[in-house]
Structure 1
Amino acid sequence: MPTNVIPIIAIGSVSGLTSRHGRDPAWLTIANYTNEPYTVQWVDYDGLNQPCDTALAPYGTFTQRTFATHPFVLLDASGAIRYLLEPVAGNCVAYLEPEGNNADKATAPIMLSPEPIDKESASRSLSSDNACYLTVINNTDAEYKFFWLDFDGQRVEYNSVGPRETKTQCTYETHPWILSKVDTAEEKLYFPQKGICCIEVD
């Protein structure tokens, strides 16, 4: 299922906002590319903010099953409402960027295509000059192991990506990554680019 990129809109209050109906299921992912933590709240049918179970950590992700027309807001560490998100039906993802002037734009990430795994033997990390962010959106019921290829070309295992899970990893341009499907050992090789990158597994 394609993933829709939705905007993060800068606001100061939720006056007049309410959830309207629960007909169209949505799967919301928020990727935080800043060093600031945020509290995530849902705006209910009465226009009241309801806390979500988990927060949005610096350089972390937040995932929530919800519905289209159900607004969410992000509160900063002082408790002030900073941003509004309005999910659409299906899979949707929002990217909170470090630059404040980009926060209200629906920034399309760089969608990475896999490289043949036989290129692994000739691949390794080259430098740590250009930082980037890599988000893996797993739309399947399978679990994947996640490996970084270090400066010697050796695999370093990171946290796995579970079924229907989204994870964001801070990395660098020229640092290769491998996704390995646990139940079949099917593997794919990816090379992040500078900026915001995304791998979508269907």
Structure 2
Amino acid sequence: MFPTLSPQPSAAVENPRSVYGGASSTLNFINRLDAESAKIYWIDFSGNRVLRATIAPGNAIRLETYVGHPWEVVVSRKDETRTVIYYPTFPEANAILDKALFPILTLPAIRPSDAPNLLSTQGGTSTAIEFENRLNVAVKVFWVNFFGKRALFATVPPGRSCRQLTFVGHPWAVSTETEKEPFVVFFPAPHEGTAVIDDSLLHEGNS
């Protein structure tokens, strides 16, 4: 068994580039993502990215390299891109590409009374929200438009979820199927987030 390397976000690595003199090594890139291909770049001695491979979902590739030679992996979804760097170790290591590259944040739940004058603003980046209904009743999901009016986008049955593309700065309100007024509001994050809808929110809304 070879060790599994931990990726570093590319933005956190200052001026990555290969250096001479490292021991020979091997990197096994393993793509365990469901639908996304991964582009594999060697970062040369001048800091340039050189495309060496594209790995389809479920595939793997073994690349010969050296300790001190960084490798960058770029994985894109429709609405977001992840770029990470791996540093080889001696004599061989695995770089596993899986859903951990796309961590999904749990969005804060906001009571409507704490979000007065609610409306969408323009200019935000594209993102997505996964509405996860953990209640035993259906919920209605509303986009709050630029004039503060609610527009029904989805009804989510109990125990189900739905993914909604949106933009940063566009609030979303949730009500039960039988109630007119929402009991919780979610604001999108720059990266995809989960809006967990459970009993605790109903209790907060009634407190």
Structure of higher CA gyration radius: 2
TM-score by length of 2: 0.49
Q: TM-score, normalised by structure 1?
A: 0.50
Q: Tell which has more relative contact order, 1 or 2 (C-alpha 8 A, sep 6+).
A: 1
